[in-house]
Amino acid sequence: GTRTTLLSVGGMTCAACVRRVEKTLQALEGVQDVSVNLASGKAVVVHRDGVVSLDDFQRALEEAGYQFLGVA
Ligand code: 9UX
């Protein structure tokens, strides 16, 4: 099924960061939609349940130069 996960993301300081994080998460297999809010530092990720994990989100965010601060 489909799941919506709210991630806390560290290190975003500008609109380009937001686009980078959105593209990074959107590129993961099983991710269907991503919306990042700079002010709150949160990313709403709609994804296939069981296809993508929190570890995948964390790895992708860190590879892009940001931090995974947990599930909000
Ligand atoms: Mo602008 Mo966001 O250099 O890292 S892209 S602060």
Q: How far is CA 1 from the centre of its chain?
A: 19
Residues spanned by the domain of 16: 2-71
CA distances from 66 to 23, 25, 27, 36, 49 (A): 13, 12, 16, 13, 24
Q: What is the pTM of this model?
A: 0.94
Q: What's the total number of domains in the chain?
A: 1
Q: Which atom of ligand 1 is nearest to the CA of 20?
A: 5
pLDDT of residue 5: 98
Å from CA of 24 to ligand 1 middle: 15
Q: Which residue, among 3, 45, 4, 9, has the nearest Cα to 27 in the 3D structure?
A: 45
Asked if residue 38 has its Cβ within 6 Å of ligand 1, the reply is no
DSSP annotation of 72 reads -
Percent of the chain beyond pLDDT 90? Answer: 97
pLDDT of residue 72: 85
Asked if residue 14 has its Cβ within 6 Å of ligand 1, the reply is yes
Q: Which of 17, 18, 24, 36 to mutate to test the pocket of ligand 1 (most atoms within 8 A of CB)?
A: 17
How far apart are alpha carbons 62 and 50 in whole angstroms?
Answer: 21
CATH number for 12: 3.30.70.100
pLDDT of residue 24: 98
Is the interface score ipTM higher than 0.90? no
Q: What is the pLDDT of residues 25-37, one digit of tens each?
A: 999 999 999 999 9
